[in-house]
Structure 1
Amino acid sequence: MRTINSAPTTDRALLKPNFEPFKRLKRGNYFHGRPDMDVYKILIDAYRLRMHDMAIFTNDNDKDSIYGGAEDGLAGFRRFLCRAKAVPRMLPSWWGDKKQAECEQLGCQEGWSSLDTPIDHVAVRQYYKDKYMDIQLRLLAEDIYGTSIGHASSKFLRNRVMSLLDGSTITMGKALRETVFRELRDLLLDKLWAKV
């Protein structure tokens, strides 16, 4: 495992800006109409951030992730993609075996999207130049796995965040960040109490 990717890097984060990402997440068409390279990067980063969050907040490491001792996390990422394909309308209509192979190949290369390098929420925000990108990635991972980090049977974060979308734009950003912070803080406290 390498050290956590730190941004900025020389490559461009996304080819096409993602307008109204939380509304697109709510509608279930987040990836639709996006360039293939953007979809690949976002899928890779949703997986990488989920593995990071699981390692930090729950000690529940997938054995085929870099946190569980795997060299590059490709096997775990393939399982993640299989789950994504099973979610109705998650992936764009052009997704298929060839596109999945291209996505996996990107994850095996050096650079930001490397599956052998961990990321955290700070690096994600810096790389994408979007202070809510880590929340978007966490919500995507919830939709793909069907559960929140540390919640075996619910999409806690999605339900909380989506309830905020009907509020004013001015207060929504602050409420989003506070909701995610509280959820992750509570997971960390649960982890610490379990060790006592």
Structure 2
Amino acid sequence: MKILHIDSSITGGDSVSRTLTAAVVERLLALSPDADITYRDLAAQPLPQASAPLLAVAAGADVPAQDSALQADVSVVGRVLEEVLAADVIVIGAPMYNFSVPSQLKAWLDAIAVPGRTFRYDAQGVHGLLGEKRVIIASARGNVYAAGSPVAGYEHQESYLRSFLDFLGVTRIEVVRAEGVRLGPEHAQAAMAGALAQAGQLEAA
């Protein structure tokens, strides 16, 4: 089994989502000790932002030989895509920043949305091509955004990731969530304990 471990939090050792992704991967390794892990830290090594030249290359254009910067960006984005295609399980650390996902994670999502590789269009519409992948989202939120919450309508983090992954054909999406971690020490402790318990109950792939 191949596991792709993605972190995107900018808060380093204080990150809730990084703690959760580590717990998820630890659980998966306990279930499958021979699993192969690829790790990518999107905060430590940010990806190039989507641009017209990158989109042109993705559509089949050649990279100008003299454009070394574009060549480097194309190489990085290509590796990112191959990591996703090779993975059986993808663990995504997704803190909520300003009601959505970090820009570093958005750049990764942009990099893996490649026509003909992760989705395709035909006369019947769009078809996602990653249906065999399992994705586990390690979600961290400062407030409580669950259905029924007064601020539930502000939630554009998990819902966005679910929509994006559904577009790519992923049907097995699981969320390990620590919610309300900025509402005080007691609430944060309870939220983390619950999320870590979720991680410890994950099933084998």
Normalising by structure 1, we get a TM-score of 0.26
**Structure of higher RCO (CA pairs closer than 8 Å, 6+ residues apart):** 1
The structure with the largest alpha-carbon Rg is 2
Normalising by structure 2, we get a TM-score of 0.26
Between structures 1 and 2, the one with greater helix share: 1
